[in-house]
Amino acid sequence: MPNVLVIDDDKDYRDYLTTLLARRGYQVRSLPTGKALDEVLATERFDAVITDLYMPNVDGLEVVRKVREVAPTLPVIGITGGGAGGSVCNRAMAAFGATVVLMKPLDLTALFSALEGALCPE
């Protein structure tokens, strides 16, 4: 069963994603920020990371950068509301090494397709 790390400062959205993924058979660990990411990555193994872009302290760009340093091939799915700058957010996260970036509100078909594609690349 794949192990996914979800990072989002919005507790309701984080809980929603955690529940959704668990119902689909994923093991899920969640964090409210990327602040403890170094410690978590050093002690736990994940098959994918889903991270929000806009968060206090350590934002999604920093999360992607840290993941790339520690686990260069670990799939990272960026998620963002992005507002009017959505395409800029997408390009920034992709430039930092996100596997894919999805806009909120998430299209669940796109989320699970991206996650399954990242976990089982052809």
Q: What letters, b where the CB count within 10 A reaches 16 and e where it falls short, cover 3-36?
A: ebbbbbbeeebbeebbebbeeeebebebbbbbbe
| Closest C-alpha to 119, from 18, 36, 16, 25 | 25
| 5-38 pLDDT per residue, tens | 999 999 999 999 999 999 999 999 999 999 999 9
53-79 residue pLDDT tens: 888 888 888 999 999 999 999 999 999
Give the C-alpha separation, 122 to 120, whole Å.
Answer: 6
Q: Whole-angstrom distance between the N-terminal and C-terminal Cα of the chain?
A: 19
